[in-house]
Amino acid sequence: MTEQPLSQSAVSVRAGRTRFMMLALVFINIIINYMDRTNLSVAATQMAGELRFTPLEMGLIFSAFGWIYAALQIPGGFLIDRLGARLVYGAGLFAWSLITALHAFASSFGALFGLRLGVGAFEAPVMPANNRVISSWFPEQERASAIGIYSSAQFVGLACMTPLLFHVQAAFGWRGLFLITGVAGMIWALVWYLLYREPHQHKGVSEAELNYLRDNGALLENRQGSQAPRARWADLAQMFRSRKLVGIYIGQFTISATFWFFLTWFPTYLVEYRHMDFIKSGYVASLPYFAAFCGVLLAGFASDRMIRRGVSASVARKLPVILGLFLTLFILGANYTEDSRLIILFMSLAFFGNGLATITWVFVTALAPRHLIGLAGGVFNFTGALSSIVVPIAIGALIDGSNFAPALAFIAVLAAIGICSYLFVVGKIDHVSAR
C-alpha cells in the first residue's frame, strides 16, 4: 500500500501553532486601535453640546485623524520594511494611546483638532504593520483567513466597545472616556513589545513550522538576509504604474468610505436624526458591527477554501469583495423608512457587505513585488485613509437640517464605483513584476 500524502491541514497541525499566538496579539492590537478611533464618535454628542461645536466643526474634528494618517501611510510603509513591526507598532501604539488620554484635558476646537492629528500620525503604520505580520507568519493558503480574523477585530471592538464606551461615558463623562481608553492602550503597548517577534527571531517557533511557512509562501526572506532587496523611494512610482494596483486603491477608498461613516457619524445619526435613546443607541449601533464581524470572517474562510479547492485567485479573492460592495448599496433603504427596525436591518446588511469586502488586504500580498509589501501596503492604506478625510467632512456638509438622506446616497454611490473598479480595472490576480 502506498503512503497517502498529508493534507495541508495535517501538515499545518504538525508544524505548530506559534503563528496563531502572533495573530492573537494583532487581534488585540486592532481592538485597541479601533477603540481609540470610535471613542470620539461616542463622545461626539456630549462633547459638541458642552463645547458648542457645529456639525461642520464636528466633521472637521472627525476628519482630523485622517489628514495626517493618510499623509504618513507611505513613510509608515517604509518604516515597516526597514525597522520591522515590533518596534514601529509598539512605539506607535504607546504614543497614540498617550495622546488619546490627553483628549481629557482639551477644551477647544483647536486643541481637539490637534490631538486627533496626533492620534492619526502614530496610527499611520498600523495597517501596513498588520499586513507585514500576516505576510511573515502565514502561508498563502491561510492568509485570507488570517486577514479575516484580524480584520474582524475592528468590528468586534466596535460592537463590544460601543455599548461599553457609552456606559463609561455615562459614568465618567466624555473626558473620563478618553482618559480610561488611553491608559488601557499604553499598558497593552508594553505587552505587545514584550511578546511579539518575527518568525526567525521567535524562540518558541519550531523548525517544522518555519519550514512550513517558508515552503508555502510566507515572506520570511524579506527580514532574514542582508541580500534581500530593500524598498527605495524610486520604487514609489511603480506603485502607481500598474493598473491592477490602481484598481485596488480605488476599491479600498470606496470600501473604507462605508466603514468611516459607521465609525464617525453613525451614532450621531441614530441619536440626533433618528431620535433613539442615548444609551439604547449604543446597543443598537452594535448590531451592524456584529454583522460586519460575521461578514469578514465568512469572506476570509470562504476565499481560502476556494483557493484550496483549486478555484482561481481572481475568483476566490474578488468574489467576496464585489458581493460585499453590492450589499453595501442596501444602505439606501434607510432613506425610505421611519421604522427603526428596518433602519437597523438596512444598516446591518450594508455593514455585513462592508465586512465581506474587508479582506482586500489579501490583494496587496497577491499583487505587489515581494520586497515591497510594506510600501505597497502604505500606498494601499493611504488611498483608503483618504476616505477618513473626505467622508466625515462630506457627510457634515451634505446634512441638510434634519435630512440625512443625501449623506447615505453619497455612500451608496462610492460603493457602486468600487464595484466597477474591481470588475473592470483590477483584472487577473497575479504579481506585478518589479522594475
SS3 percent helix, strand, coil of the chain, rounded to 5, is: 85, 0, 15
User: What integer pLDDT is reported at residue 103 of this predicted model?
Assistant: 92
Cα–Cα distance between 334 and 344 in angstroms, integer? 8
Cα–Cα distance between 335 and 162 in angstroms, integer? 24
Cα–Cα distance between 202 and 198 in angstroms, integer? 6
- Taking residues 300-319, report their average pLDDT: 87
- Taking residues 278-290, report their average pLDDT: 71
Cα–Cα distance between 121 and 288 in angstroms, integer? 28
User: What integer pLDDT is reported at residue 264 of this predicted model?
Assistant: 78
C-alpha cell at 265: 457619524
Q: How many helices (H) and strands (E) does the chain have?
A: 19, 0
Cα–Cα distance between 79 and 114 in angstroms, integer? 23
User: What integer pLDDT is reported at residue 127 of this predicted model?
Assistant: 79
Give the residue with greater pLDDT, 106 vs 401: 106
Contact 219, 383 (CB under 8 A): no
pLDDT of residue 433 exceeding 70, the answer is: no
- The third-level CATH classification (topology) of the domain covering 15-217+232-426 is Growth Hormone; Chain: A; (1.20.1250)
pLDDT tens column, 115-174: 999 998 998 888 778 878 888 888 877 887 888 888 788 777 777 777 788 888 888 988
Q: What is the largest CA-CA distance in the chain?
A: 80
Cα–Cα nearest to 410, from 303, 324, 332, 301: 332
User: What integer pLDDT is reported at residue 54 of this predicted model?
Assistant: 80
Cα–Cα distance between 387 and 56 in angstroms, integer? 16
User: What integer pLDDT is reported at residue 240 of this predicted model?
Assistant: 79
pLDDT of residue 420 exceeding 90, the answer is: yes
Bridge partners, residue 400, by sequence: 403
User: What integer pLDDT is reported at residue 4 of this predicted model?
Assistant: 40
Hey, where are the domains in the chain? 15-217+232-426
- Taking residues 313-319, report their average pLDDT: 87
pLDDT of residue 196 exceeding 70, the answer is: yes
Which amino acid is residue 90, in one-letter code?
Answer: G
Cα–Cα nearest to 366, from 423, 325, 326, 307: 307
pLDDT of residue 263 exceeding 60, the answer is: yes
User: What integer pLDDT is reported at residue 245 of this predicted model?
Assistant: 87
pLDDT tens column, 93-110: 999 999 999 998 988 888
pLDDT mean across residues, the chain: 82
Q: Which pTM was predicted?
A: 0.71
pLDDT tens column, 221-237: 544 444 455 556 566 77
Contact 117, 64 (CB under 8 A): yes
Q: Lowest-pLDDT range, 176-180, 225-229, 300-304, 397-401?
A: 225-229
Secondary structure of residue 305 in the 3-state scheme: helix
Cα–Cα distance between 367 and 397 in angstroms, integer? 37
User: What integer pLDDT is reported at residue 68 of this predicted model?
Assistant: 84
Cα–Cα distance between 427 and 421 in angstroms, integer? 9
What angle do helix axes 55-71 and 109-123 make, rounded to 10 degrees?
30
The rounded radius of gyration (Å) of the Cα atoms in the chain is 21
pLDDT of residue 186 exceeding 90, the answer is: yes
Cα–Cα distance between 45 and 34 in angstroms, integer? 19
User: What integer pLDDT is reported at residue 409 of this predicted model?
Assistant: 94
pLDDT tens column, 244-259: 889 999 999 999 999 8
Q: In percent, how much of the chain has pLDDT > 70?
A: 88
